[in-house]
Amino acid sequence: MKLLIITSLKEYLPQATALLKKAGVAVYSVNTTTGVRTNDGGGLLDDWFGSHSGEFDSIVLFSFTDVASAAGVVDLVDGYNRENNTGFPLRAFVLPVEKTSQ
């Protein structure tokens, strides 16, 4: 089992959910949040919100899913970002689930 996470601007919720559906992920959660980027510092996540600074209405989608579905979503997100240069890419992460309760 994997924990699949997608982050994006709130306005891209329809696109993100379409990618989940296309990959066969039928059960997921959506949370709204505020993303913040300052011009301070640098590092690995410099382009998290593109080159824009400020506060952003954002979403976090997550699902506990199988390995193949999670990998499929990541591939679809990569393809979406290549085809749609919005300046605010979708981000997808897959984390291992080491243990669950019964």
Model confidence at 50: pLDDT above 80: no
pLDDT at 44: 45
Across residues 69-75, what is the average pLDDT?
Answer: 97
Angle CA(85)–CA(88)–CA(47) in degrees, nearest 5? 105
Pick the more confident residue, 50 or 23: 23
Q: What is the pTM of this model?
A: 0.83
Q: Sort strands 29-37 and 54-65 into parallel, antiparallel or unpaired.
A: antiparallel
